[in-house]
A = this chain, B = another copy of it.
Amino acid sequence: MTTDNTRSDSVDPASAIADPIDAVRPDDLRLEKFLPYRLSVLSNRVSNAIADAYSARFDLTIPAWRVMAILGRFSNLSAADLVEQTAMDKVAISRAVSILIKNDYITRSEDLADRRRQVLNLSELGRDVYERIVPLAQQYENDLMGSLSTDERQQLDSIIEKLMARAQDWANRGLID
């Protein structure tokens, strides 16, 4: 029996004549309007759909795909470079790289100048796969963007930048308190 909570059980009798709008707790939080919640649901839906597509077609996880996406554009990167470019942490990179090597999608070679570093590149097979994934990814992107007007696409772009910057502040300066 889903019932709205009214204030009836906690309201002070003296204010019982208050405006009816008060019948809904003024500072309840509507989860479905709460931005962090909505972002999370949206992002999960999108990511899950795409993850399914990649794994079905190429046996790739999203982290592994991200690494491929970067290595498709830039060559001779180290794992640390990938950390910079992907917003993933080094453990995730390490795991993605080891999967990709097992699949022969990328190659790893020592950096003779600094023997801690490993130099990563797409293999030929990896390049082939990359060239087949990119259109698929773009198809998803286009399909999403297709639900927006040209104006909305620009708006979204700039809105995301602003929100990202704000959330980044939180991480840097410490949280709101």
Contacts and interface: CB of A to CB of B under 8 A. Distances in A.
Interface of A: 1-5, 25, 27-32, 34-50, 52-53, 62, 66, 69-70, 72-77, 81, 85-87, 131, 134-135, 137-141, 143-148, 152, 155-156, 158-160, 162-168, 170-171, 175-176
B53 A176 contact: yes
Which of A77, A140, A166 has the most B CB atoms < 10 Å from its CB?
A: A166
Contacts of A160: 38-39, 42
Contact of A28 (B41, B48, B73, B170): B73
A25 B37 CA distance: 37
Contacts of A147: 162-163, 165-166
B28 A72 contact: yes
